Amino acid sequence: MNAIPLPPEVFGLCIDPDRPLIVVDVDEVLGLFIRGFEQFVGTHGLEMRIDRFALFQNIYRPGETTHLDVKDGRKLFDAFFECNPQLMEVAPGAPEALAALADSATIVILTNAPPHSRPARARWLIDNGLPYPLVIGAGPKGRPVAAMAGRTRLGTAFIDDLLPNLDSVEQEAPGVHRFQSVADYRLRPFAPSAPDRHQRFDHWPDLAVAIASALDLRV
């Protein structure tokens, strides 16, 4: 099986070899994605029931007990990114935490999202005080993180909500410090975790302290 190509933005990033690197996800890490998407599907006469750590399988027509077909959920997902990404609220404490860390480290945003979402997603980051380079990818995040981490002589930290992405980074770049964070309190009980391999901090003040400690930064 051919590997997914690296996102082209990876090659144009300005990564200081003499500063630590922090690579951070967007949805459910920097932003409360599910809450924003929930508002969006509501405008289509649908509702979300948070009873599992999933996206499309939590969308229902009112009164029905079977979730919306995944194919239809994906269409809504694409439309949300094109039309209404500003509905997403920023995760409490995220802008302040990254601003403090950015004094001593390079910050890069790595998100898996539809390619057409770039303008709206970049605008969302700027509007919410997160003016950092944006890389939009697809699939496991291990290879992109490994490619970025290889460009600094100092440590790298990676933050994501999804266990498969954390596992991918562990496999491709085992020296990277990995942190799991789930912004929406409704999802936290359902999120698969592996605390013996990936530290988990669901609140940004605590997460920032842990990142700073791992990278030997002062915040």
Domain check: are 111 and 174 in the same one? yes
Domain of residue 46 covers 34-87
Asked, for residue 2, whether it belongs to a domain, the answer is no
Domain check: are 168 and 72 in the same one? no
Domain check: are 179 and 200 in the same one? yes
Q: Alpha-carbon distance 119 to 215, whole Å? A: 31
Instruction: Give the pLDDT score at 84.
Output: 64
| 72: CB partners within 8 A, 6+ apart | none
pLDDT tens for the chain, 219 residues: list them: 467 888 889 989 999 999 999 999 999 999 999 899 888 889 899 998 888 888 888 899 998 889 999 899 888 888 887 766 677 899 999 999 999 999 999 999 999 988 888 888 899 999 999 999 999 998 999 999 999 999 999 999 999 999 999 999 999 999 999 999 999 999 999 999 999 999 999 999 999 999 999 999 876
Domain check: are 205 and 183 in the same one? yes
Asked, for residue 77, whether it belongs to a domain, the answer is yes
Asked, for residue 3, whether it belongs to a domain, the answer is no
Task: List 200's β-bridge partners, or say none.
Answer: 180
Domain check: are 23 and 77 in the same one? no
Domain check: are 14 and 50 in the same one? no
Nearest partner of 112 among 76, 145, 86, judged by Cα: 145
Domain check: are 185 and 209 in the same one? yes
In this structure, what token pair is assigned to residue 94?
């995220």
Burial of 118 (0-12, 13-18, 19+ CB in 10 A): middle
Instruction: Give the pLDDT score at 86.
Output: 75
DSSP 61: -
Domain check: are 165 and 115 in the same one? yes
> Which residue's entry shows tokens 């669901």?
202
Instruction: Give the pLDDT score at 119.
Output: 87
Asked, for residue 4, whether it belongs to a domain, the answer is no
**203: helix, strand or coil:** coil
Domain count, the chain: 2
Domain check: are 113 and 193 in the same one? yes
Asked, for residue 55, whether it belongs to a domain, the answer is yes
Instruction: Assess contact for 59 and 79: CB atoms under 8 A.
Output: no
Asked, for residue 140, whether it belongs to a domain, the answer is yes
Domain check: are 46 and 121 in the same one? no
What string of DSSP letters covers 8-48?
THHHH----TTS-EEEE--BTTTEEHHHHHHHHHHTTT-EE
Domain check: are 83 and 100 in the same one? no
Domain check: are 109 and 210 in the same one? yes
Instruction: Give the pLDDT score at 80.
Output: 84
Q: Alpha-carbon distance 181 to 126, whole Å? A: 21
CATH number of the domain bearing residue 116: 3.40.50.1000
CB atoms within 10 A of CB 107: 17
